[in-house]
Amino acid sequence: MTHPSDLSVTIVDGYVDEPAHFGVPPYISTYPRFTAGALVDAGVAQSQITYHTIDALRDDRQKWRDVATADLMIYVGGMTVPGKYVGGTPAEPDEVKELAWVADGTTVLGGPVRFGVGDENAGGIETERKDLDYDFVAKGDIEAAVYDLVSSGLEGFNNRMRDNDELSRWAPDGAFIVEQHPNHPDYLICEMETSRGCAYRCSFCTEPLYGNPAFRTAEAVIQEVDELSNYGVKHFRLGRQADILAFGGDGEAPNPDALGRLYAGIRDVAPDLETLHLDNMNPITITEWPEASRECIRIIAEHNTPGDTAAFGLESADPLVQAENNLNVTAEECFEAVKIVNEEAGWRPGDDPARAPTHGQKAANRLPKLLPGINLLHGLKAERKETYQHNREFLERVYEAGLMLRRINIRQVMAFDGTDMSETGAEIAHDHKELFKSYKTEIRQQIDQPMLQRVAPQGTVLPNVHLEYHQDGRTFGRQLGTYPLLVGIPGEQPLETTIDAVVVDHGYRSVTAVPYPLDINRASMKQLEALPGIGRQRAGDIIVDRPYESASEAGETIDLTDYVTARPPQQAD
């Protein structure tokens, strides 16, 4: 029997992406943190626990020594929704296998990887046992399995789900692991679990496989935030839940008191946080309990940071598809929910003296505090050509009503064992592939772009844009947040730096911006050309006439003061 205090452990994060759980950088999921906390609770010293992301192992083969020499190697990962990623690349099956082959110690695999591995969701639990060569595959919670295994001296293994009492210990105990993440602390956002499971049973979703909602207490979540904050984390996303409005309630009805304690408590223990966003909000909750929901939405907008998004799982506006897949909200109900969120949280800091920004936020032309996002899922049972028209009409109605959506997510279904869609699989999605492509392009052109112009008009300031990569003479970056805008900046700026930017133009799902405020005495030709009303010739004239004492000197007939400043000429190049 191996005593826990003698163990060396390596946790490898292959990244997760689930309907209610982000884990691809810049996000860090709950799995490695909770697992680290379970190890500590079982008696393993923090100094004996090493954490690596799969990208860190790719970048530095020397780090594989930690995989090879650990007494216990734990792999967490798995994707149950398709996605495109910039901050990291999820582990592929061959890499997951290699980890098991390299490891000399005991190996455990867990997380949503039990549903499959890699972009194509290859395999299930039995395939993983056979082909991936891990000693143990956690069918339940990886953190519970690891706790039991370590507590028994590596001589026993159980498949079970942990409870919230255990999590109240493990979540704060595992916070230290963030210090070992390559992005810590400046470009790391912690996914926070408030509950899991769902009261509804949509045909495609894996969340009901966790059972009915099991809520953590506000105090437990606040304690975890407090500990993460002590380790330098400033960005948080309350994303791990089916419905944030139901927090602290019976799984369906809102509980404003509990939600108020949660948000106020987070602000109390992390007063210097820079991001506080959420993810899932069930539109049926809003229409069934409108007044309590309005109160909850106001609480969120009071405490969150701008640019927040509440993802609405409409999935389909087609009544036939709704009925066949047990979807819980109609198009009419979803429209009403969109309207309510816009009314209660669609304001921008500084818009209204009665809703003055709190927590030190600067009043300026920022993104709205909280807007709904719409999830549309194709390939569901009973889908037909008319389904696409129903969806288009819904989105057109929202736009024509003058309402705002922060994001429209259009994807095709992935079918998993244990869900109703497992029998139908991806057959309908495959049959409608060409129709889906043309429809998606149409939505991007006719809805997404004008909606983005409404949400982030020219002159909108985007603080703290993290610059990630260069492409076609531009620098691209994003803010940290739940569904951040892709920001393209003319010219090549230094990567892995952070700047404030101001929106000057719009793509379908991205914006063009320039550094804010742009110093007109130092700005490049391309940056000046990008300003509204400035073409190539005018930009050239501005450069020729530099330096300027003030930005207004360069404006004349065009007001540039929302975008530019001017350093004193003696400081300019």
Amino acid in the structure at residue 165:
D
Question: Is 310 within the bounds of a domain?
Answer: yes
Using CA atoms in the order 343, 349, 353, 359, what is the torsion angle rounded to 10 degrees?
120
The reported pLDDT for the residue numbered 422 is 52
Contact 337, 372 (CB under 8 A): yes
Domain boundary among 455, 474, 508: 455
The closest of 39, 9, 7 to 146, measured between CA atoms, is 39
Backbone angles phi, psi at 173, to 5 degrees: -65, -25
Q: What is the pLDDT of residue 20?
A: 77
Q: If 0-12 CB within 10 Å is exposed, 13-18 middle and 19+ buried, where does residue 377 land?
A: buried
Whether residue 319 is found in the same domain as residue 432: yes
Nearest CA among 39, 40, 42, 20 for reference residue 29: 20
**308 and 431 inside one domain:** yes
Of 140, 23, 9, give the one whose Cα is nearest residue 77.
Answer: 23
Residue 111 lies in a domain: yes
- The dihedral built from the CA positions of residue 16, 488, 484 and 393, taken in this order, carries a sign that is negative
Q: Are residues 450 and 527 in the same domain?
A: no
DSSP 3-state of 428: helix
Q: Is 177 a domain residue? A: no
Within a domain: 251: yes
The answer to the question of residue 215 being in a domain is no
Q: What letter does residue 163 receive in the DSSP assignment?
A: -
- Do 325 and 379 lie in one domain? The reply is yes
- Single out the residue of 275, 272, 180 nearest to residue 230, CA to CA: 272
Measure the CA–CA gap between 429 and 494, rounded to whole angstroms: 42
| Contact between residue 328 and residue 284 where contact means Cβ atoms under 8 Å apart | yes
Please report whether residue 325 resides in a domain.
yes
The per-residue pLDDT for 313 is 87
Dihedrals phi, psi of 448, to nearest 5 degrees: -60, -50
Say whether both 25 and 117 belong to one domain: yes
Per-residue model confidence (pLDDT) at position 278: 97
Output b/e per residue, 412-450; b: 16+ Cβ within 10 A: bbbbbeebbbeebeeebbeebeeebeebbeebeeebbbe
pTM of the predicted structure, to 2 decimals: 0.91
Q: Nearest-CA neighbor of 34 among 202, 228, 215, 210?
A: 228
* Count of domains forming the chain: 3
Residue 466 and residue 443 share a domain: no
| pLDDT tens-digit profile, the chain (573 residues) | 678 888 999 999 999 988 778 999 999 999 999 999 999 999 999 999 999 999 999 999 999 999 999 999 999 998 877 677 888 999 999 999 999 999 999 999 999 876 554 444 444 434 444 457 899 999 999 999 999 999 998 887 889 999 999 999 999 999 999 999 999 999 999 999 998 866 655 555 555 566 677 899 999 999 999 999 999 999 999 988 889 999 998 778 999 999 999 999 999 999 999 999 999 999 999 999 999 999 999 999 999 999 999 999 899 999 999 998 888 899 999 999 999 999 999 999 976 545 544 434 444 589 999 999 999 998 888 889 999 999 999 999 999 999 999 999 998 876 555 555 455 556 776 777 888 899 999 999 999 999 999 999 999 999 999 999 999 999 999 999 999 999 999 999 999 999 999 999 999 889 999 999 889 899 999 999 999 888 899 899 889 988 988 877 876 556 666 787 776 555 544
* Among 399, 431, 455, residue at a domain's last position: 455
Range of the domain at 477: 461-571
Please check whether residues 451 and 467 belong to one and the same domain. no
User: 409 with 281, same domain?
Assistant: yes
* C-alpha torsion sign, points 256, 258, 263, 265: positive
| Shared-domain flag, residues 375 and 473 | no
551 belongs to a structural domain: yes
Query: With contact defined as beta carbons under 8 Å apart, do 548 and 566 qualify?
Result: yes
Residues 450 and 468 in one domain: no
Residue 20: closest CA among 63, 76, 80, 84? 80
524 plus 438 within the same structural domain? no
Of 135, 165, 195, which closes a domain? 165
Domain co-membership, 12 together with 155: yes
